[in-house]
Chains A and B, each alone.
Chain A
Amino acid sequence: MDKGATESDPEWIAALRARDRAAFTQLVERYHAGMMSLARSLVGDAAADVVQDSWISAFRALPDFRGHSSLKTWLLRITANRAISHLRSRGVAAGESAPDGAPLDQRFDESGRWGQPPFPWSLDTPDALLASAELRETIARTVDALPPLQRSVLRLREAEGLDRDEICKILDISTSNLHVLLHRARVRLWRAIEAYQRSGDDAQV
């Protein structure tokens, strides 16, 4: 079997279903890193254990792989399942522990207009924002503090560039749920960047 075996290669898929060692080794080589990235976003340091566990489940389930989704989506879904049950076994909620409602509510007046409008930003491009080590640190800290599902949605969408339907399948959530998670995550990050820009301006006064 050559290194370039793909999902469209029926021989490779057949070998995987038959739990052939060489085919399985290729599968691990190809998808391990992506599974680690997803697991890290959900469970942090426990990612290596969760992913090893996922490989055990995947190996057992290979004969049942029907190709309804891509191998990547199938493996990431197994990983997300494992990671979420890991969180559950530790009493951690994957979603929001307490719903924060519309996260911006306090910025509007009773008529729904901006009471505290967005503060103008002096840094106005991604490169300018990321040039500041302090702001990179602020963003990383804010991402780390997000509820696990928001963090993994951000990871799958922004870092891995997966499309909406794949993410919904992997995390077993609805499209509207995905929007809410992504929106909350972005608004939190927006607030963190705004606070940083505001403090920077104060410091210059």
Chain B
Amino acid sequence: MLKCSEVSRHASAYLDRDLPRLTRWRIRVHLLICEHCRRFLHQLELTHLTVREQQRRQAAVNTGEPASVDEIVRKAMSGNRPDR
């Protein structure tokens, strides 16, 4: 029987479906009887979904300063490293 601490360590990989089948199955069995771990998994998934949504919204806002493509190309082709 897995311990709660072990379930928590596998939680992210479990949500990403990145665990060997046996480990996955053992976690499922644990979740059937452990309310705290069920809640933790649910909240971690919610965290993941919320952060994903926030990151996407931010990325949409942050498409950034419209750097001049010509300028970037010119510098890259002349090989001048930016001044630091």
For residue B71, give the distance in angstroms from its CB to the closest CB of chain A.
9
Closest chain B residue, CB of each to CB of A41: B55
A65-73, A91-99, A187-195: which one contacts chain B? A187-195
Task: Name the residue in B6, B50, B75 with the highest tally of chain A Cβ atoms < 10 Å from its Cβ.
Answer: B50
* Number of residues of chain A lying within 8 A (CB) of chain B: 59
Q: Which residues of B contact A (CB under 8 A)?
A: 3-6, 8-9, 11-13, 16, 18, 36-37, 39-40, 43-44, 46-59, 62-65, 67, 69-70, 72-73, 75-77, 79-82, 84
Q: Top 6 closest A-B pairs, CB basis?
A: A112-B3, A183-B12, A159-B55, A55-B76, A158-B52, A117-B36
- Please, which residues of chain A bring their CB within 8 A of the CB of B55? 143, 154-155, 158-159
- Please, which residues of chain B bring their CB within 8 A of the CB of A53? 81-82
Task: State A187–B15 Cα separation when bound (angstroms).
Answer: 13
Within 8 A of B (CB), among A40-69: 40, 48-49, 52-53, 55-56, 58-60
Task: State A161–B27 Cα separation when bound (angstroms).
Answer: 26
For residue A59, give the distance in angstroms from its CB to the closest CB of chain B.
4
- Please, which residues of chain B bring their CB within 8 A of the CB of A32? 67, 69, 72
Does B46 contact A182, Cβ atoms closer than 8 Å?
no
For residue A44, give the distance in angstroms from its CB to the closest CB of chain B.
12
The listed residue (B9, B11, B13, B50) touching A126 by CB distance below 8 A is B50
With A118-B40, A183-B11 in contact, is A36–B54 under 8 Å at CB? no
- Please, which residues of chain B bring their CB within 8 A of the CB of A140? 54, 58
Task: State A112–B4 Cα separation when bound (angstroms).
Answer: 6
Task: State A111–B3 Cα separation when bound (angstroms).
Answer: 8
Of the A-B pairs whose beta carbons lie under 8 Å apart in the complex, a sample of 6, sorted by A's number, is: A28-B72, A126-B52, A136-B54, A140-B58, A183-B12, A193-B50
- Please, which residues of chain B bring their CB within 8 A of the CB of A104? 5, 8-9
